[in-house]
């Protein structure tokens, strides 16, 4: 699969490269990223190199694209977003964003771009995109809810993070679902004030 940059004029998504290693390492020092993402802690330069070689390169080769989130076409990395294929017509979305860039709607924009590409017949032509996050990650839940993901439940100890099992929220969006906010989320999740948008 060829690289496929995406933009809406406010956020730019492009394949991360070796030139981004220092920015990736700096981002991954933030405790608010490590709290919710399955990155190594502590995070070193060799972890970023391994990410590029073992995840980014094979991902683009196997319908699992990973984009760096930027605020301009050639700007530094401020976040990451991916679609990880689990079968030919289904992928899982994952993402993180630097603390300083949260609350501006950037992640919601990035999710919208990635979903549009994922569902489009000239993109990945997916039928479904699923989302998982550790219970308590309200900002992540808010971002996908705004993009048409429907709440599908909670998996008890459903995911692993650095050797510890954690409860996991589940949601999904079908190609036939409209992109606007989904209204079927439990009140205790949907009314929580979110810091990432």
User: How do residues 33-84 score in pLDDT, each as one tens digit?
Assistant: 999 999 999 999 999 999 999 999 999 999 999 999 999 999 999 999 999 9
Q: Measured between alpha carbons, how far is 77 from 70 in angstroms, rounded to an integer?
A: 5
Say which residue, 197 or 98, is predicted with more confidence.
98
pTM recorded for the entire structure = 0.94
Higher pLDDT, 177 or 193: 177
Distance of CA 153 to the CA centre of its chain: 19
Residue 192's pLDDT is: 64
Backbone angles phi, psi at 107, to 5 degrees: -70, -40
pLDDT surpasses 70 at 90: yes
Give the pLDDT score at 189: 87
Predicted local distance difference test score (pLDDT) of residue 1: 77
> Given this model, what pLDDT does residue 195 score?
40
DSSP string, 119-167: HSTTTT--SEEEEEEETT-HHHHHHHHTTTPEEEEEEEEEEEETTEEEE
195/138: higher pLDDT: 138
Specify the residue for token string 């699923």.
Answer: 130
Per-residue pLDDT averaged across 2-21, rounded? 96
Structure tokens of 160?
A: 């692993």
Which residue stretches of the chain are H helix?
A: 21-27, 31-34, 45-51, 57-61, 106-119, 138-145, 187-190
pLDDT of residue 161: 87
Taking the CA atoms of residue 98, residue 103, residue 105 and residue 110 in that order, the dihedral angle to the nearest 10 degrees is: 20
pLDDT of residue 197: 39
At residue 2, the pLDDT reads 83
- Tell me the C-alpha distance between 170 and 133, whole Å: 7
CA pair distance 139, 157, nearest whole angstrom: 20
Are 141 and 133 within 8 A, CB to CB? yes
The H-or-E segment that residue 174 falls in is strand 164-174
Q: What is the pLDDT of residues 133-184, one digit of tens each?
A: 999 999 999 999 999 999 999 999 999 988 899 999 999 999 999 989 999 9
∠ Cα 29 33 36 (to 5°): 140
Fold classified for 6-190: Aminopeptidase (3.40.630)
Ordered by start, the domain boundaries in the chain are 6-190
Confidence class of residue 93 from pLDDT cuts 50, 70 and 90? Answer: very high
The pLDDT score that the predictor gives to residue 193 is 54
The structure tokens 């510890």 sit at 164
């Amino acid at each position: 699969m060829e690289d496929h940059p995406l933009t809406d004029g406010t956020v730019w998504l492009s394949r991360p490269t070796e030139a981004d290693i220092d920015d990736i390492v700096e981002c991954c020092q933030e405790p608010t990223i490590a709290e919710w993402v399955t990155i190594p802690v502590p995070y070193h330069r060799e972890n970023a190199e391994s990410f590029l070689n073992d995840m980014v390169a094979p991902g683009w080769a196997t319908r699992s694209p990973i984009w760096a989130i930027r605020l301009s076409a050639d700007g530094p990395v401020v976040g990451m977003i991916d679609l990880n294929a689990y079968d030919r017509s289904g992928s899982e979305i994952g993402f993180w964003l630097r603390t300083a860039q949260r609350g501006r709607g950037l992640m919601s924009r990035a999710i919208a771009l990635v979903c549009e590409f994922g569902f489009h017949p000239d993109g990945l032509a997916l039928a479904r995109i699923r989302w998982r996050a550790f219970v308590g990650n309200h900002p992540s839940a808010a971002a996908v809810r705004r993009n048409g993901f429907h709440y599908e439940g909670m998996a008890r100890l459903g995911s692993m993070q650095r050797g510890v099992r954690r409860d996991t929220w589940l949601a999904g969006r079908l190609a036939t679902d409209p992109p606007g906010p989904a209204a079927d989320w439990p009140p205790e999740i949907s009314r929580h004030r979110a810091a990432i948008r």
